[in-house]
Amino acid sequence: MITLTTPPQINSVLGGTAPIAYNKLVLGPFTMDGVTQTVRGTLRLTSTASPSMQPITGTLTITVPSSDVTVEVAQLDFYRRITSNSGQNTAVLGIIETAQASLENGLISLGLIGGTRTAGV
């Protein structure tokens, strides 16, 4: 969970002036693909002050081969695309590899899969 520094304010009453701060951002569900070197997920914005307010959803896509990061939240008319640098791309690939290794090693240690894990895809 990420607590937003400057949360978006959404009116809780149509035509009114009762803004609600959507201050909590969660990425999930998401997928990390070591083969295509991508991360894709759903962003979910909620309000800790007014948890009964409807969540606002969007998307996040990180594509390492093209150094492309996009965040889109259509309900807020928000779209941002940036180009990631080589250090950021290396970090994303490290996160994907670490997650994949943890899952694969876990399956082996539980005895669900017989084998030895090696790095790579």
Q: What is the pTM of this model?
A: 0.83
User: What are the boundaries of each domain within the chain?
Assistant: 2-109
Identify whether the C-beta of residue 92 lies closer than 8 Å to the C-beta of residue 40: no
- Distances in Å between the alpha carbon of 104 and those of 4, 8, 76, 109? 33, 39, 38, 9
User: How many angstroms separate the CA atoms of 88 and 83, rounded?
Assistant: 10
pLDDT tens by residue, the chain, 121 residues: 889 999 988 888 888 888 999 999 999 999 999 999 999 999 999 999 999 999 999 999 999 999 999 999 999 899 999 999 999 999 999 999 999 999 999 999 999 888 888 876 6
Identify whether the C-beta of residue 29 lies closer than 8 Å to the C-beta of residue 57: no
> Phi and psi of 13, rounded to 5°?
-130, 130
